[in-house]
Amino acid sequence: MIWSKTAFIGFGFPMDYLALLVFIFPAYVANAVPVLFAGKTPIDLGESLDDGHRFFGKGKTVRGFLAGVVAGTASGAAIAYAQPGFLPALSLWEKTALAFLLGVGAMLGDLAGSFVKRRLRVPSGGKIRFLDQMPFLLVALLLSVLAFPELATEIGLTGLGFLVVVTLVLHRTVNWVAHAAGLKKVPW
């Protein structure tokens, strides 16, 4: 068993669900931070495919990508250090590596979503339900499970469903707040 079901006694939430939120937190951080650290150099360097559309678009920058990975990793390392009983089967180094994978996975998933949107001729900032929210979560989970296969059993289908629903709600809420604060041009 990777995480202890007793690590979060007293929070007033189902322990499994709270543990899932703490586990996925580095991916959430990685996905949110690039809007604060937008850079000028796009990851695709302004290049387009034969279809005439950019690989990812102007909003996906090197600085934002790196900031997301660093922030996601740092948040996971902080959790691992502050809460040593969380994921007790993993060492501090393994927990930090897991946070790194969650951060990288979130950023790669976000790029994958943008790539598909450009192929569908949706402009940067355009909206496609689920494609805007799910790739970062699913790729982060995939990389984590590939590195730590026992996580698949620990999370399970119920946990996956929980994370999908929470991600849809949080993504919408956080983006609306970022838009209201002037950090994003669109509220999605």
**pLDDT tens digits along 91-119:** 999 999 999 999 999 999 999 999 999 88
Q: pLDDT tens for residues 123-134?
A: 777 778 788 889
**CA gap 51, 154 in Å, rounded:** 42
pLDDT of res. 124:
74
Domain ranges for the chain: 15-180
Instruction: State the Cα–Cα distance between residues 187 and 89, nearest whole angstrom.
Output: 40
Instruction: Report DSSP letters for 98-137, one per residue.
Output: HHHHHHHHHHHHHHHHHHHHHHTTPPTT---TTTTTHHHH
pTM, rounded to two decimals: 0.86
Burial class (CB in 10 A: 0-12, 13-18, 19+), 130: exposed
The pLDDT of residue 128 is 83
Query: Which residues of the chain have a pLDDT value below 50?
Result: 6-15
Q: Please give the pLDDT value at position 43.
A: 94
Structure confidence at residue 139 (pLDDT): 98
